[in-house]
Amino acid sequence: MDSLLARALLRNGLLLILPPMTITFGLWAALPPSYAMDRFWKEIPPWLALPENILRILVFALPAFLYFGRKEKKQALGWFLYPAGLLIYLASYLAQIFFADSAWSRSAIGFTAPAWSTSIWFGGIGLVCKDTWLPLAWNRAVYLICCGLFLIFHIAHTALVFTRLS
């Protein structure tokens, strides 16, 4: 198999998106009613919803054009952040599911944890996916900046939902 094709398939950054999506789609229905789609997206202003969703598409699609490695120090840090971030993300869901009435889950930081905890595994992806298999110049900062912008809108959205519950 051609080495470019092997990188594009076997080390494709899209593979790193699958575990967090499994957590999200596997556990979303078990979350408390305040996270239900019809309530979570109710009355979200377009200036918030539109950039959040455009950036969401971007940060989840870009890894398909990247491949991951482990040779440099930043990639080693990324391989630490990625699984740690997945565990924290999973824990944020489980806390909301099993301890919905706890002080943590009812706090702003606890309620928004499923949103802000994504920053850790996104950071991991951004660090391990240094290169693209496309014939383009690439810098991992592009992905990390897109993730940062997405998180601003995503966390703001979740915080807005939280304030409406209070």
- Rounded distance between C-alpha atoms, residue 112 and residue 124, angstroms: 20
CB 70 within 8 A of CB 11: no
pLDDT higher than 90, residue 10? no
Q: Report pLDDT digits (tens) over 65-123.
A: 998 987 888 999 999 999 999 999 999 999 999 999 999 999 999 999 999 999 999 99
Say what the pLDDT of residue 23 is: 97
Res 134: pLDDT = 85
pLDDT at residue 138 tops 80: yes
Phi-psi region of 127 (alpha: psi -120 to 50; beta: other; left: phi over 0): alpha
Q: Are 125 and 143 in contact (CB under 8 A)?
A: yes
pLDDT over 80 (residue 30)? yes
Of the pLDDT bands very low, low, confident and very high (cuts 50, 70, 90), residue 4 is low
